[in-house]
Structures are given as structure tokens and as C-alpha cells.
Amino acid sequence: MCSNLGHKNQAMIDSISRQAQDLAFISPAFTCKVRAEVADKLLEVVPKGLEKFFFATSGTEANEAAFKIARAYTGKYKIISRYRSYHGSTAGTIGATGDLRRWSVEPSGKTEGILFAPDCYCYRCPFGQQYPACGTTCATYLDYMLTHEKNVAAVIVEPIVGTNGILVPTDDYLVKIREITRRHGVLLIADEVMSAWGRTGEWFAVDHWKVVPDILTTAKGVTGAYVPLGVTVTTREIADYFEDHTFSHGHTYEAHPLTLAPALTAIDEYRRLNLIENARELGAHLGRRLNELKERHPSVGDVRGLGLFWAVELVKNRGSKQPFNTMDDKFAGRPLIMDTLTKEMMDRGVYVMGWISHMVLAPPLVVTKDDLELGLKALDEVLAIADKHCS
């Protein structure tokens, strides 16, 4: 889900080597040509209204910067996240992570001031309801939370949840939480570390709903993972606050020129190779084919996704939706059926990420229909193994 441009893209390799010859490193206290160029180029693709960038070297750091910006700008400290989420591995970002990776840092991790809102997860709705009759309760509950909480700086969401299930929200969800956060004077942070850069068939997942957050973070596909770059982008209004106030944050490798030059080239390559369109078109094909597999395999409870970003959620029993394994199983290190299945996929030459009860299908955006068919054939065989464990 980060090697969007595939391996051995010559333009990417050349841009790294050119930048190494030109200027490999400069103190982040200075600006440099490539830093200005990359900011200009990013402005062409990020949602309109987001204008100023902070460059780090990972998605985790991009989110840490977002939290610090939100807290300093609002003078408040609470962050609302959601349970089905991953936001990074440092104390702050793991504290704001909803999934089991947070459990091992509690209670010593930086989890104070973090609250969790309900997920927009229709297959297993936390309120046991059905869309659209539900009125998108998962969004309106945020209004209820913000009415009862003081000192909330920001709400952070993955617009389309990644590792925790490729949860594509209902059509009105993000629009609603944008309205609710604005009304309560709370910043909205979109964590697009995984969902950006054409992955879902748009430059950014928020583009599907034309929602502009106050802060957007990204990493991975920004350089097609050729070099480690994390980006935090804010509105001009938030950025201007820091003209007169200290932004107490930074890294030696902040805005490292070697990480910036490939981002310039990556944007050109996404355009030259029509990768966003490819994700849209092949994504629709992938979705159709996965739904066919669902028809044939009782172990498939749900398939969902957008662009080249799909999940296949497995169940022991379709009626009860009982999963094969639980978060507790993973936390305790018990063997998971999913591990067997991803191993079987690997044996057939196809890498997919398994996460407790679902597989994440996120091929490089340079994938072809034939490549997809190869993966689907392996998946068809492997799901037959899962079917045998159904009850």
C-alpha cells in the first residue's frame, strides 16, 4: 500500500541520484530550492484551502506534528480518534490509535486526553443499525461527544480506514463530521498516510466527498516509498498563527532534500502513467471480481473498498458474522487462520497483508489486469481453505 509506483521506476531512481549530487543535506533551519519546488507542486494536488507544509520522514511524525499544531493553535489538549484506526508508533500517535497496538503502551503511553468515537463500519455497525435508516448515527454521536467534552483540540480520522478494515464511509459521513467539528470549533485532521496518492482513485480520499480538513497528513505514496517522507499540511490561517508563535517541533531530517526531490518526481509519474485513472478503472474491476468470489466462498463475510484499496473480511459463519479470530487472539500471539491464509498466498507468489479477520488488498497502482487476475486466482484457491473452517 505504499509502493504505488512499483519497483525500479527510472525517473524516481534518477531523481534520488540527481538530488544526492546536487544537495544531499542541509540544516532544516535553511530553505533550499527543492523544498520550495515541492511545496509549489504539492499545492497543485492537495485539497484547495490547504497551503502550508511541514516535512518529516514518516506518517507517524506527520501525525505527531499535526497533534502539536492542533494543540498549540487551539490551546486545547484532547484529541478524539476512533477505535478502528492506526495513527503511528510514537507515544502520542500510538495513544491516539484505536486498535490493539495501543494496548501494550497502556497505561504508561501518552493516552491521556485521547477519546474514541464510534466507527463508520456498516458491516458491524457499533449501534446495530442500518444505513441510511440510521441517519449516520456514528457521525451524529460525535456531536453528542463534543457537546459533553471541553478542551477538545481535534478529531482525527482516516477518511477511508486502512489497516483496520478498508472502511469506506457512507456518503454523508465525512460531510457531517466536517460540519460538526466546525460548529464546535474543533479542528479536523485527515490522516491520509495510506489513503492518498491515487490509492482510492483520487489524489486524496477526502476528494471523493469534497471535504477539506484543517490539517491533512500523508506519507507512503507521496514518494511511492522510494524514500521516507511524511507531510503535514494546514490551512493558511493555522500556519499564520505560527508566524508569531513558536512551533516547538523539528527533526534533523526535517525537509531532508533527498526525501523531497522524489516527491516532485512522483507527482509527475502519477500523472504521466495515469495512475489515478488506473486505480479508478482497475479498482472497479477488482471490486466486481471480489464480489464474484464472495458469491462462491462462504468464508467471505464482506468485501468493500474503493480504487485499488480493498478488504476481504472473513467469517466463520455468515449468518452470525462470527469471525475466525479476535483482537485478543492477535494480542496474545495465538495462531490466526489469517496467518495461514496469507502464507498460502505467499506460497502462490502473492503478498497480501492480513489483519486478524480481513485481508488488505492494495496492489501498486502500476498493476495490470493480468497481475490482478494472478492475485485473484491465488485468492480463490486460498479462500477454499478458509471455507473448510466455516461452521
87 vs 256, beta carbon nearer ligand PLP: 87
Output 219 or 279, the one with its CB closest to ligand PLP: 219
60 or 265: CB nearest ligand PLP: 60
Q: How far is the CB of 158 from ligand PLP (least distance, A)?
A: 5
* Nearest distance, CB of residue 253 and ligand PLP, angstroms: 13
Q: How far is the CB of 93 from ligand PLP (least distance, A)?
A: 7
Q: How far is the CB of 35 from ligand PLP (least distance, A)?
A: 20
Burial (0-12, 13-18, 19+ Cβ within 10 Å), 139: buried
Least distance to ligand PLP from the beta carbon of 359, Å?
A: 16
Q: List residues binding ligand PLP (CB under 6 A).
A: 58-60, 63, 86-88, 158, 162-163, 191, 193-194, 219
**By C-beta, is 88 or 213 nearer to ligand PLP?**
88
Complex with ligand PLP: residue 60 or 74, whichever CB lies closer: 60
Name the residue whose CB lies closest to ligand PLP: 59
Q: How far is the CB of 161 from ligand PLP (least distance, A)?
A: 8
CB-wise, 137 or 201, nearer to ligand PLP?
A: 201
